[in-house]
Structure 1
Amino acid sequence: MAQLSLSRRPSRGPWRVTRSVWFAMFMREAISRTMADRMGWFWMLFEPLAIIAVMVSVRGLFLSGSEVAGADHVPWLVVGLMGYGLFRENMMRALGAIEANKGLFAYRQVKPVDTVLVRCFLEGALKSFLFLLFIGIGTLLQFDLMPARPLGVMLDWLSLWALGWGAGLTVSVLGDLVPEVGRVVRILNLPLLLLSGVILPVMYIPYPYREYLLYNPIVHGLESMRLSFFDGYHTLDGIDMTYLWFWALSLIALGLILHLRFAAKLKAE
């Protein structure tokens, strides 16, 4: 009896099992995302750099001045692109997370929601690293990319991350159950880019239409982050991070509910 009791290994609790699953999936996703393609890191850096170069060139051709609403144009554009990229990548990468990890569902410990949570965490970590890298490079090139209120920037960054996480949780289920949803989400990428104040300042929108922009929670996140970055920056009245968090928490709750409701169907398909 003594030998039998000694040979029994203590069972792991649910939380320890979940942590082990998340860690294993995170390492798998990280290696796949950064090392499967030799040009992976290059494209992650080149994409925002190319967009910035094109937009700066277009502005130089058609508009005069180097400032946008009290902030230098290049840092203003970097903050907008990185903030929007954080939201977009969390949403778009989550869209294909379940389908890409179907083989892992043979293990009963792996749930469809795990694939989305891990992928969103990885995308947020990569974007955070790239943002810090851009800040460092911009500072070396003497661009005004050091935030005036770092804590405010961090909170705004986390808010956009949470919003993207919620959108990712929701569309990952809807896109897997109804493939047309995925196509619609991809089509909406460009309109969202234009209507979120990423490359076109919200102050340039005609006055009667500005209030409609405030229905878009991404606008609140980007403009709040720019206000935290640049001391002299001014934007629309009515920027409210509580509104963004309302959307973020609602989408997270909706996404988790959908994952719980359709977990078996997501595994089976």
Structure 2
Amino acid sequence: MATDTLMPAPQAPGQQAARSSWRVACSVWFATFMREAISRTMADRMGWFWMIFEPLAIIAIMVSVRGLFMSGSHVSGADYVAWMVVGMMGFTLFRENMMRSIGAIEANRGLFAYRQVKPVDPVLVRCFLEGMLKSLIFLLFIVIGSLLKFELIPDHPFGVLLDWLSLWALGCGVGLTLSVAADLVPEIGKIARIMGLPLLLLSGVIIPAVYVPHQFRQYLLWNPIVHGLESMRLSFFGGYHTIDGIDMTYLWFWALGSITLGLALHMRFHDKLKAH
């Protein structure tokens, strides 16, 4: 098992340990990453299927509903299917980073017998793994969508990359914070899981922000996810228009603030998290 690499190698009498703290941390992250990657992708034979099928099913349902009750294949200057794909994948990136982080400490508690492993390590590794998996799936959607003649080639690829990274950072920050809070108070984790559906509805994933009445848009903009999704759609579709007030600085404020808070909580409650 990859966790065996966490054990220090035997040393000859009088030999000094040569590995720095950074090299030890990298060894821990690599071993934990291999363990998480195998568990995430190979433990369940249907793992890859569900990662692809879930967003695809929601997109198919919403496209069908729109076809039944509304006319036209475009929304706010973008193809509706492509618009849904971008929004759903961006939201899934945030949500999975947040949700997977909640159970990371409990799932890897056995590794804390090794003094090199800290409670924050499996959380960081899970966030990195989810970012890789969701990026791969998003690229797969873009390739398949383009072959099916949907408008899924971004007009501003660099802008899309920055927006994608911002949503990943926000998910990591919220995940780091909730991983501590949910381990100390389990009810917080249950509440966070329940909030998945309301966040889907309130983040402009399936309902265009321009459809929200003007008097309520200021409240919609309190949600940092809206800024990330709408900015990524603006980068994807040259003719897309959205509500005023989209500000990526606001999203990065939330992302960096939550990352700082999460790391501070991990440092403050390190001993409790290990012994919980």
Counterpart Cα distance in 1 of 2:52 and 2:249: 32
1:8 CA drift (Å): 2.0
Give me the whole-angstrom Cα distance separating, in 1, the residues matched to 2:13 and 2:217.
71
Can you list the C-alpha shifts for 1:193-249, whole angstroms capped at 9, x where unaligned?
A: 101000000111111101111110000000000000000000011100000000000
Alignment of 1:230 onto 2:215: no
> Could you tell me which of 168, 179, 186 is aligned with 1:179?
186
Residue 29 of structure 1 is matched in structure 2 by: 36
State the distance in 2 between where 1:7 and 1:255 align: 40
Q: Give the 5 Å matches for 1:74-223.
A: 74-223=81-230
What is the TM-score of this pair, normalised by structure 2? 0.95
Q: How many residues are aligned here?
A: 266
Render the CA deviation track for 1:13-44: whole Å, top value 9, x for unaligned: 00000000000000100000000011111111
Q: Distance in 1 between matches of 2:195 and 2:52?
A: 23
Q: What letter is aligned with 1:16?
A: R
Task: Please give the per-residue CA displacement for 1:91-141, whole angstroms capped at 9, x wherever unaligned.
Answer: 000000000001000000000000100001000100000000100000111
What residue ranges of structure 2 are gaps of 5+ in the alignment?
1-10
TM-score normalized with structure 1 length:
0.97
CA gap 1:57/1:170 in 2 versus in 1, 3 angstroms: same
Paired position in structure 1 for 2:247? 240
1:55 matched residue in structure 2: 62
Q: Report the AA paired with residue 179 of structure 1.
A: P
Look up the match of 2:18: 11
- Quick one: which amino acid aligns to residue 261 of structure 2? L
Q: Does 1:73 align with 2:72?
A: no
- How far does residue 188 in structure 1 lie from its aligned partner after superposition? 1.0
Return the alpha-carbon distance in structure 2 between the equivalents of residues 118 and 49 of structure 1: 26
> How far apart, in 2, do the equivalents of 1:80 and 1:198 lie?
5
Code of the residue aligned with 1:11 in structure 2: it is: A
Pair 234,7 (structure 1): closer, same or farther in 2 beyond 3 Å? same
Runs of 4 or more, structure 1, over 6 Å off, are 4-7
Q: Distance in 1 between matches of 2:61 and 2:174?
A: 29
Q: CA deviation at 1:9?
A: 5.2
Separation (CA, whole Å) in 2 of partners of 1:196 and 1:225:
13
- 2:53 alignment counterpart: 46
CA shift in 2, pair 1:185/1:6, >3 Å: closer
Q: What one-letter code is carried by the residue in structure 2 that aligns with 1:207?
A: H
Q: After superposition, what is the alpha-carbon deviation per residue over 1:234-265, rounded to whole angstroms, capped at 9, x for unaligned? A: 00111000000000000000000000000100
Match of 1:258 among 261, 265, 272: 265
**Structure-2 separation of matches of 1:27 and 1:222:** 31
Q: How far, CA to CA, are the matches of 1:190 and 1:153 in structure 2?
A: 25
- CA-based RMSD of the aligned residues comes to 1.3
* Amino acid paired to 1:204: Y
Identity in percent:
74
